[in-house]
Amino acid sequence: MSGSGVADAVWALLWGVNVLVLGYFLLLNGVYLLTTLAAFRALRRYPRRLKTVEVEELMRTAGALPVSLVVPAYNEGASCVEATRALLTLRYPDYHILFVNDGSTDETLERMVAAYEMEPAPLAPTAGLATGAVRGIWRSRRNPNLWLIDKENGGKADAQNAGLNYCRTPLFGAIDADSLLEPDAVTRVVRAFLEDARTVAAGGVIRIVNGCAVRAGQVVDVRLPRNLLARFQVLEYLRAFLSGRMGWDALGAPLIISGAFGIFHRATVVEAGGFDRTTVGEDMELTVRLHRHCRARGVPYRIRFVPDPVAWTECPEDVRSLGRQRDRWQRGLMESMWRHRTMLLNPRYGAVGLLAYPYFFFLEMLGPVIEAVGFVAFAVTVLAGGASAAYVGAFLGVAVLLGMALSLAAVGLEELTFRRYTRTRSLVAIFGLAILENLGYRQLNAYWRIRGFITKLRGGTGWGDMRRRGFGTGAGNGSGRAVGDGAGVDA
């Protein structure tokens, strides 16, 4: 091939890559637009329905469906007592707390036993999911609905399965030890099960507690965090839950119930095999597997996102912890997507297989790779004189404006519905964040996702730790993920 032939081939390649990246960009934002519009439509109707069928009225008629809250904990000695106290104040008529001590090496067990006057209690398992050995079962004398399962260390999913094995109620909740549930959060999620008996899983909103005033395990004053990284995450979570999750729910294809706060139909989850102990994204993996399980058996089912119940969670405030979290989310996403790839573009799975799965597979899972290749190709094109600075600027400007518009739409949805940030200056600050996040934060996210992608390809499996400031009630591993809903997408 002659010199000009090689140059032509390189140009053609660059052309192709640029078109591919442009297509990715348009498709990705097209989906965001679609979910935002679907969310808008659903959220407009939701408050009216809430007023029509009041939760208390519903519970009074049906009697509350009994729920067991499974709370896995590893080395939570500093916070477990307070976190449990918060759970004990939930306004729900019939619930148990199954606190699972996952082989902690600190004083988690001793503190729980002392604080709640726990004593060994007989309890037969109701399921036989494989878990680390259970060393003992304890029950509180003061709060008979509080149980403690002490087991060998096996990881979060293993601890959740241990809780599931001892669950005796038709529903169970997966709750992070470091999440603060609002008093009526369980009631509001269970509503989804009462209104549609086909519901097998439902999750609520995760919001950022950093900066909020917390008393006795309850958020009493909602404020924006002082830390800029945490502030960005407030906006990210609004976008992820109100635009993303709500939109996917409205489209009939929710693909993730957050591990920080979700309620599940016990028997269905046990039949499906419980939580997968070999993935760092056990919440998404379970949700995807429930879709597969129910479809394979021809069982009518629904998986729902409910926008009003809230779990507050502490988000990372330092770059290192946040990076590790996003790295882990990316790996979890890849594991779930690869494991269930048979669902990809498979009409047997309806909107999940034809819409949500391709989105998460191509745009979220492979997105970091496409973006990285795009950055390189774009840079080469510019350096080789294939594009002017004005053109590059205009393209980046469109990307930034589009990201901003979608973020502002999410803020609008929050204002339309739940209005947790009541101070007008908070609202104005969130507007500012929608602009600021494009100047570094989104790029950092893209970097972490690429890093997670590479780590996964190299066989990385760890969870990573997280430095926490604490809010007086708990600390943990921050699994209230906002992945896959435009949360971590580079502009």
Partner 1 sequence: MGETWEEHVFPWLGVLSALLLAVALLFTLLTLVLRWRHHRADRVWRELEARWERQLLEVLAGAGDAAALLGRVRPGEALRFLAYLSRYARRVTGEETRILRALARPHLPRLEAVYRRGAAEERARAVQTLGLLGMPDYAPLLRRALDDPSPLVSIIAARALSGLHEPGDVSRVIERLHRYALWHPAFLAGLLTDAGKGGEAVLRDALADDGRPSGERAVVAQALRNLRDPRAADAAAAVLARAGDTDLTVACLRLLAEVGEGRHRPAVLPLLDDPRFQVRAAAVAALGVVGGERDVSDARAALDDPSSWVGLEAARALRALDGDTVLPEIAREPGRRGVLARQVLAE
For binding to partner 1 (CB under 8 A), which residues are involved? 11, 14-15, 45, 48-49, 51-54, 56-58, 60-63, 65, 121-127, 168, 193-198, 385-388, 390-391, 394-395, 397-398, 401-402, 404-405, 408-409, 411-412, 415-416, 419, 424, 427, 431, 434
Comparison of 34 and 366: residue with beta carbon closer to partner 1: 34
What is the separation of C-alpha 453 from the centre of its chain, rounded to a whole number of angstroms? 18
Which residue, 108 or 407, is less far from partner 1 as judged by CB? 407
- What secondary structure does DSSP assign to 346-391, as a single string? -GGGHHIIIIIHHIIIIIIISHHHHHHHHHHHHHHHHHTTSS-HHH
CB 176 within 8 A of CB 182: no
* SS3 call for 170: coil
CB of 460 to partner 1, least distance (A): 38
CA 470 to CA 58: how far, in whole Å? 36
Contact 223, 430 (CB under 8 A): no
Q: Nearer Cβ to partner 1, position 73 or 406?
A: 406
Question: DSSP readout, 176-241?
Answer: -TTEEE-TTHHHHHHHHHHH-TTEEEEEEEEEE-TTSEEETTEEEE----SSHHHHHHHHHHHIII
CB of 342 to partner 1, least distance (A): 29
Please report how close the Cβ of residue 10 comes to partner 1 at its closest, in angstroms: 11
CB of 102 to partner 1, least distance (A): 22
As measured in angstroms, the least distance from the Cβ of 218 to partner 1 is 22
Residue closer to partner 1 (CB basis): 27 or 58: 58
The backbone region for 470, taken as left when phi is positive above 0, alpha when psi lies in -120 to 50, beta otherwise, is left
| 398 vs 439, beta carbon nearer partner 1 | 398
**Helix, strand, coil percentages in the chain from 3-state DSSP, rounded to 5:** 55, 15, 30
Element holding 151 (H helix, E strand): strand 146-151
User: Minimum distance from CB of 428 to partner 1 (Å)?
Assistant: 9
> In degrees rounded to 5, what are phi and psi of residue 149?
-105, 115
Task: Report the run of H or E that residue 308 belongs to, with start and end.
Answer: strand 302-313
Phi/psi at 52 (5° precision): -75, -50
277 secondary structure, DSSP code: T
Q: What angle do CA 436, 439, 445 make, to 5 degrees?
A: 105
Q: Which is nearer to partner 1, 4 or 424 (CB)?
A: 424
The residue among 14 and 86 lying less far from partner 1, judged by its C-beta, is 14
Report the residue number, 216 or 398, with the smaller CB distance to partner 1. 398
CB of 484 to partner 1, least distance (A): 23
198 or 215: whose CB is closer to partner 1? 198
CA distance 66 to 68: 7
In angstroms, give the least distance from the CB of 397 to partner 1: 5
Closest approach of partner 1 to the CB of residue 134, in Å:
11
CA separation, residue 408 to residues 238, 242, 259, 312, 420 (Å): 10, 12, 27, 22, 16
At residue 388's C-alpha, the angle toward residues 384 and 389, to 5°, is 110
Looking at the Cβ atoms of 107 and 184, the one nearer to partner 1 is 184
Residue 387's Cβ-count burial label (10 Å; 0-12, 13-18, 19+) is middle
Q: How far is the CB of 187 from partner 1 (least distance, A)?
A: 14
Which of residues 296 and 394 has its CB atom nearest to partner 1 in the complex? Answer: 394
For residues 154 and 177, what is the distance between their CA atoms, to the nearest angstrom? 16
Q: Minimum distance between the CB of residue 354 and partner 1, rounded to whole angstroms?
A: 24
Q: Where are the beta strands (DSSP E) in 23-107?
A: 67-73, 95-102
